[in-house]
């Protein structure tokens, strides 16, 4: 069935030399052959089993060295992370309870889904049967494979007819199912690649140097949401061909990092993940250390009163030059670190004894359609775009699509450099089917036609003149579909984990976890940058408005961020070692304008904004340092308040700071600076006792900057003292209220974390099943009317005089029938008379008022005229409505009479009246 001698001669041409039988011996001898890169046999390095924690330094993170190690590495890191999380503070233990519940639910979902997908009653018959045309194609391909193995006994076997998940052999080209999904994001190749990479969970080939034993269809892969590189590539190629791209699946060889989807050498920032906060802080601290900030801090602690050092004059040009130099050095250091990392990666790759033998599949997009200018590769496991000469791809065995299968006849000496992907060149690519031998052929089915999913009849034959050419049967896979809920989730069964060089990134679907978490990024520690690691958690749809949580286990720090809408207007909450250190608020959501509250163990600071009394700062100092086990604080010894400048009050009377010394029974006031002055005016009051009321003036100490200002009178000072005493009581009450508010916030946060509840947006049409009040009222009214109609028997008034209403004689049935029709006819006539009577009444009244108006129009007032006009409008409206109602009644009365007669004929109790 092949093309005979011509095909054999081309396949045995010198451009494709034969090689030894064993591919292991080829790898050892580094002999080049078509489709396979030369490889070297080196010793295998073992996986480092001594990783001490998920937040360990980069050197303690295990390197992926052999097949299947990525899964074990991720499991190991997850176990280590769980152990490290168990050792954290009590709030963290509460957070991990949700994680354990989620993992158990995840395992149960996988098991149930796998059983469901193997149920033959829920899939088309083409999944577990073979049509006559498919059998003919299988025989044709088997003949091609026999000639191929005879001509190239040393080459790797081709992926031609692998069995599907039901164990039925299918030609690999019919496994592709071009489909256009109804989502705008999937109309571009980048959107399709990103969707496949995020939607599926990657599973490396086992063993990595062999082709997959089974190849399920893309519909199975979509439902199970996991697969190997061939499952990824077939699904992506199906989606790309469905939207018009000339896409092909490439079967070949790749590096260990690509085949294992090892992202451990990729920085998380390159894939759009925001860097951790701690790294910038560490860099800032290092910069401060370089500029000698430590020496300045040491100098400030020598004493309370000191002479300020002279101002250091420095050229702004030199400052900018220094910044440029520092930026350049940082860039060079970063580039040097990247080069060293790439060199280490190359050394690790060279240590791989399976280099050049690891089987992998990816997608090739050729130019000519959808304005594609040049060929490129798409790595489906990550969604990244590569050139056709990328060093990560080492060799190509074959290329196939939904129209044909091509075998590579070129030798891959230096990866894919110099390899031509002109599939129409028969000297470099050998086709399997004689139909659609050129790239860009038309798919055997049209996705826009619903009939394309049905297999062609087994007896169908294609004729092309006098030559019979075997064409490709339609795909045995049903049309691909993804529900809107699954498409929005973008995660395999709701969760996916990717390990990067400096972080582990986990993504979860919305509403999938009970705690509302949608992503979690664990940043590994980096000693070279002084970074100790962080855990970033993102949340959505939580009733408590929690948006993000940042954990730093090394420092025992938890930083929570909230969306607007919480009680008390809480915006941020910072906890260190189980104690609340800072609380930030939305000032627009509060009546007191509180912005931030800082707890410094023995001191509490509060910052305000946009207050009517211009208060911007309040501090409270307590007696003694609280112990770790101490819950209640000591007594208050001092309170201080700061105010903004009030332009309506003179500077020497406008207080800038008030300090209440509760322990020393005195109050100090510092006023705002006067124009042109470098020190402010001050005044200090000692609280007088009952005996010292008359002598309080002697206990007041004042300092006026302006010597020409008249000293205040005794009455003014007394009024100011009384005002300060009232302000002190108000400040003390505000401090106690703030303390109560903090306790309420902490209790509510503890209750919210114990019982996390999620909210569903009214715009979420998938999960929101609530109905509008109007819709519920309509349904309730409809149900009540139906219930009333079933309860009321229309013949009950006419059957009351008969002892056995369910078994009437012919005479009794005729009497009941005539009585029912007569009563209904009289009711219709009576209703018509009622409508006619009301119409006559309104018309007579209208004519009477019109006659009266014509007689007295000249003598009527404006009010009487307006009243007459209003009456005429109402009367004409009623006349119009009654006329329409009467016409409608006359039209429907005969129809209703006929309907009742038909209902009587259909009633089983009236059957004797119509029996002949």
pLDDT in tens, 48-60: 333 333 333 333 3
Whether the CB-CB separation of 203 and 221 falls below 8 Å is answered with: no
Residue 453: pLDDT above 70?
no
DSSP string, 736-777: HHHHHHHHHHHHHHHHHHHS--B---TT-TTT-----HHHHH
Domain shared by 607 and 722, yes or no = yes
Which residue did the predictor score with more confidence, 79 or 554?
Answer: 554
Average pLDDT of span 519-526: 88
Whether the CB-CB separation of 170 and 476 falls below 8 Å is answered with: yes
pLDDT in tens, 461-517: 444 444 567 788 899 999 999 988 888 877 777 778 888 878 888 888 888 888 899
The per-residue pLDDT for 878 is 92
Domain shared by 900 and 809, yes or no = yes
The per-residue pLDDT for 722 is 87
Enumerate long-range contacts of 383-387, CB under 8 Å, 24 or more apart.
Answer: 383/190, 383/193, 383/194, 383/196, 383/197, 383/198, 384/193, 385/190, 385/193
Q: What is the CATH number of the domain that holds 404?
A: 3.10.620
Average pLDDT of span 452-469: 46
Domain shared by 590 and 647, yes or no = yes
The per-residue pLDDT for 692 is 61
Is residue 686 in a domain?
yes
Is residue 153 in a domain?
yes
Domain shared by 748 and 803, yes or no = no
pLDDT grade, residue 670 (50/70/90)? Answer: very high
Whether the CB-CB separation of 667 and 730 falls below 8 Å is answered with: no
Average pLDDT of span 806-835: 89
Domain boundary residue, one of 754, 785, 819: 754
Residue with tokens 């006031």: 669
CA dist., res. 729 & res. 389, Å (int) = 78
The per-residue pLDDT for 169 is 93
The per-residue pLDDT for 455 is 41
Domain shared by 748 and 830, yes or no = no
The per-residue pLDDT for 510 is 85
Looking at the structure of the chain, the number of domains it has is 3
Domain boundary residue, one of 393, 415, 431: 431
Residue 399: pLDDT above 70?
yes
The per-residue pLDDT for 305 is 59
DSSP string, 132-195: HHHHHHHHHHHHHHHHHHHH-TTSPPP-SS-B-TTS-B--HHHH------S-GGGGSHHHHHHH
Nearest to 454 by CA among 485, 479, 488: 479
The per-residue pLDDT for 739 is 92
Beta-carbon-side half-sphere exposure of residue 364 (alpha carbons within 13 Å): 26
Percentages (nearest 5) of helix, strand, coil residues in the chain: 40, 15, 40
Domain shared by 864 and 718, yes or no = no
Minimum mean pLDDT among 75-89, 242-256, 398-412, 843-857: which range?
75-89
Domain boundary residue, one of 403, 431, 459: 431
Nearest to 240 by CA among 480, 435, 576, 572: 480
Is residue 218 in a domain?
yes
Residue 25: pLDDT above 70?
no
Is residue 811 in a domain?
yes
Nearest to 627 by CA among 608, 601, 649, 662: 601
Is residue 284 in a domain?
no
Q: Which domain range does residue 136 map to?
A: 125-268+354-431
The per-residue pLDDT for 491 is 79
Which range has highest mean pLDDT (235-244, 780-789, 808-817)?
235-244
Coil, strand or helix at 113: helix
Which residue did the predictor score with more confidence, 571 or 300?
Answer: 571
pLDDT grade, residue 10 (50/70/90)? Answer: very low
Which residue did the predictor score with more confidence, 853 or 278?
Answer: 853
Residue 45: pLDDT above 70?
no
The per-residue pLDDT for 797 is 82
Which range has highest mean pLDDT (248-252, 433-437, 793-797)?
248-252
Which range has highest mean pLDDT (335-349, 709-723, 787-801)?
709-723
Domain shared by 715 and 799, yes or no = no
CA dist., res. 100 & res. 109, Å (int) = 15
Coil, strand or helix at 716: helix
Minimum mean pLDDT among 154-158, 429-433, 452-456, 742-746: which range?
452-456
Calculate the alpha carbon distances from 371 to 360, 364, 376, 409 in Å: 28, 15, 13, 29
Domain shared by 730 and 836, yes or no = no
Minimum mean pLDDT among 305-314, 374-383, 681-690, 735-744: which range?
305-314
Residue 241: pLDDT above 80?
yes
Is residue 291 in a domain?
no
The pair phi, psi for residue 676, each rounded to 5°, is 85, 5
Minimum mean pLDDT among 343-352, 354-363, 652-661, 829-838: which range?
343-352
The per-residue pLDDT for 697 is 64
How many percent of the chain have pLDDT more than 70?
77
Strand 226-227 and strand 201-202: the pairing is parallel
Domain shared by 908 and 834, yes or no = yes
Q: Give me the residues paired with residue 574 across strands.
A: 559, 582
The per-residue pLDDT for 715 is 82
Confidence (pTM)? 0.61
Q: CA 814, 817, 819, 824: dihedral to nearest 10 degrees?
A: -160
Question: Which tokens is 658 given?
Answer: 């008030």
CA dist., res. 126 & res. 484, Å (int) = 26
Domain shared by 905 and 779, yes or no = yes
Greatest pairwise CA separation for the chain in angstroms = 129
The per-residue pLDDT for 35 is 56
Is residue 379 in a domain?
yes
pLDDT in tens, 609-658: 999 999 999 999 998 766 555 556 788 999 999 999 999 998 888 999 99
Domain shared by 703 and 818, yes or no = no
Residue with tokens 């000698």: 292
Domain shared by 745 and 859, yes or no = no
Coil, strand or helix at 860: coil
pLDDT grade, residue 777 (50/70/90)? Answer: low
Which residue did the predictor score with more confidence, 68 or 191?
Answer: 191
Is residue 98 in a domain?
no
The per-residue pLDDT for 766 is 73
Q: pLDDT averaged over the chain?
A: 79
Strand 603-608 and strand 594-599: the pairing is antiparallel
Enumerate long-range contacts of 46-49, CB under 8 Å, 24 or more apart.
Answer: 47/72, 47/73
């Amino acid at each position: 069935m092949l093309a005979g001698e011509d095909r054999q001669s081309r396949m045995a041409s010198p451009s494709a030399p034969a090689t030894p039988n064993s591919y292991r011996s080829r790898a050892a001898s580094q002999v080049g052959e078509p489709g396979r890169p030369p490889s070297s046999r080196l010793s295998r390095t073992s996986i480092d089993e001594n990783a001490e924690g998920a937040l360990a330094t980069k050197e303690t993170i295990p390197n992926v060295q052999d097949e299947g190690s990525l899964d074990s590495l991720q499991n190991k890191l997850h176990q280590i992370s769980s152990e490290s999380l168990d050792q954290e503070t009590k709030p963290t233990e509460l957070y991990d309870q949700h994680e354990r519940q989620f993992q158990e639910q995840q395992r149960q979902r996988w098991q149930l889904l796998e059983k469901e997908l193997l149920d033959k009653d829920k899939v088309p018959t083409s999944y577990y049967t073979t049509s006559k045309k498919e059998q003919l194609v299988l025989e044709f391909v088997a003949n091609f494979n026999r000639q191929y193995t005879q001509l190239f006994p040393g080459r790797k076997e081709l992926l031609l007819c692998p069995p599907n998940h039901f164990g039925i052999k299918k030609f690999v080209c019919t496994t592709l199912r071009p489909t256009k999904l109804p989502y705008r994001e999937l109309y571009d190749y980048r959107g399709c690649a990103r969707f496949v990479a995020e939607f599926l969970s990657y599973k490396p080939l086992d063993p990595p140097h062999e082709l997959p034993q089974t190849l399920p269809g893309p519909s199975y892969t979509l439902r199970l949401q996991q697969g190997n590189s061939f499952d990824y590539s077939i699904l992506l190629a199906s989606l790309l061909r469905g939207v018009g791209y000339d896409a092909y699946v490439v079967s070949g060889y790749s590096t260990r990092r690509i085949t294992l989807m090892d992202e451990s050498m990729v920085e998380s920032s390159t894939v759009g993940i925001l860097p951790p906060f701690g790294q910038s802080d560490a860099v800032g601290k290092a910069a401060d250390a370089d500029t000698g900030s430590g020496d300045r801090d040491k100098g400030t602690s020598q004493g309370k009163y000191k002479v300020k050092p002279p101002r250091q004059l420095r050229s702004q040009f030199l400052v900018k030059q220094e910044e440029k130099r520092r930026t350049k050095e940082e860039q060079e250091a970063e580039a040097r670190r990247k080069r060293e990392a790439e060199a280490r990666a190359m050394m690790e790759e060279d240590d791989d004894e399976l280099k050049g033998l690891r089987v992998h599949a990816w997608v090739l997009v050729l130019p000519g359609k959808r304005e594609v200018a040049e060929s490129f590769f798409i790595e489906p496991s990550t969604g990244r775009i590569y050139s056709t000469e990328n060093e990560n791809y080492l060799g190509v065995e074959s290329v196939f699509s939904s129209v044909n299968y091509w075998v590579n006849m070129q030798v891959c000496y230096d990866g894919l450099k110099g390899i031509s992907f002109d599939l129409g060149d028969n000297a470099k690519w050998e086709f399997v089917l004689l139909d659609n031998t050129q790239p860009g052929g038309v798919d055997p089915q049209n996705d826009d036609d619903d009939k394309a999913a049905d297999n062609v009849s087994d007896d169908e034959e294609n004729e092309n003149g006098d030559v019979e050419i075997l064409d490709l049967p339609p795909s045995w896979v049903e049309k691909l579909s993804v529900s809107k809920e699954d498409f929005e989730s973008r995660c395999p069964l709701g969760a996916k984990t990717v390990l990067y060089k400096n972080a582990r990134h986990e993504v979860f679907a919305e509403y999938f976890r009970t705690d509302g978490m949608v992503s979690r990024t664990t940043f590994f520690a980096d000693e070279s940058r002084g970074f100790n690691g962080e855990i970033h958690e993102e949340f959505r749809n939580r009733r408590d408005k929690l948006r993000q949580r940042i954990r730093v286990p090394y420092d025992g720090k938890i930083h929570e961020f909230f969306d607007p809408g919480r009680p008390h207007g809480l915006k941020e909450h910072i906890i260190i070692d189980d104690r609340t250190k800072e609380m930030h608020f939305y000032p627009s959501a509060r009546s007191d304008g509180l912005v931030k509250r800082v707890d410094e163990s023995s001191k509490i600071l509060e910052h305000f904004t946009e207050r009517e009394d211009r208060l911007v700062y309040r501090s409270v100092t307590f007696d003694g340092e609280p112990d770790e086990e101490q819950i209640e604080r000591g007594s208050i010894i001092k309170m201080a308040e700061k105010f903004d400048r009030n332009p309506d009050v003179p500077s020497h009377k406008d207080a800038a700071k008030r300090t209440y010394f509760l322990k020393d029974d005195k109050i100090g006031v510092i006023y705002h600076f006067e124009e042109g002055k470098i020190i402010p005016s001050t005044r200090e009051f000692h609280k007088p006792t009952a005996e010292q009321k008359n002598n309080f003036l002697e206990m007041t100490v004042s300092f006026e900057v302006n010597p020409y200002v008249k000293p205040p009178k005794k009455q003014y000072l007394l009024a100011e003292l009384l005002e300060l005493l009232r302000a002190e009581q108000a400040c003390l009450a505000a401090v106690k209220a703030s303390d109560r508010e903090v306790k309420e916030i902490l209790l509510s946060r503890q209750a919210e974390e114990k019982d996390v509840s999620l909210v569903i947006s009214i715009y979420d049409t998938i999960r929101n099943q609530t109905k509008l009040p109007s819709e519920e009222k309509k349904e309730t009214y409809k149900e009540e009317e139906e219930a009333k109609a079933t309860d009321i028997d229309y013949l009950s008034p006419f059957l009351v005089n008969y002892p056995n209403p369910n078994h009437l004689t012919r005479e009794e049935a005729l009497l009941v029938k005539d009585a029912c029709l007569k009563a209904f006819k009289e009711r219709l006539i009576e209703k018509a008379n009622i409508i006619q009577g009301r119409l006559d009444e309104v018309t007579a009244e209208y004519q009477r008022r019109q006659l009266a108006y014509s007689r007295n129009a000249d003598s009527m007032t404006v009010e009487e005229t307006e009243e007459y006009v209003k009456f005429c409008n109402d009367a004409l409206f009623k006349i119009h409505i009654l006329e329409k109602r009467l016409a409608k009644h006359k039209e429907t009365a005969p129809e209703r009479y006929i309907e009742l007669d038909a209902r009587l004929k259909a009633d089983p109790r009236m059957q004797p009246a119509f029996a002949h």
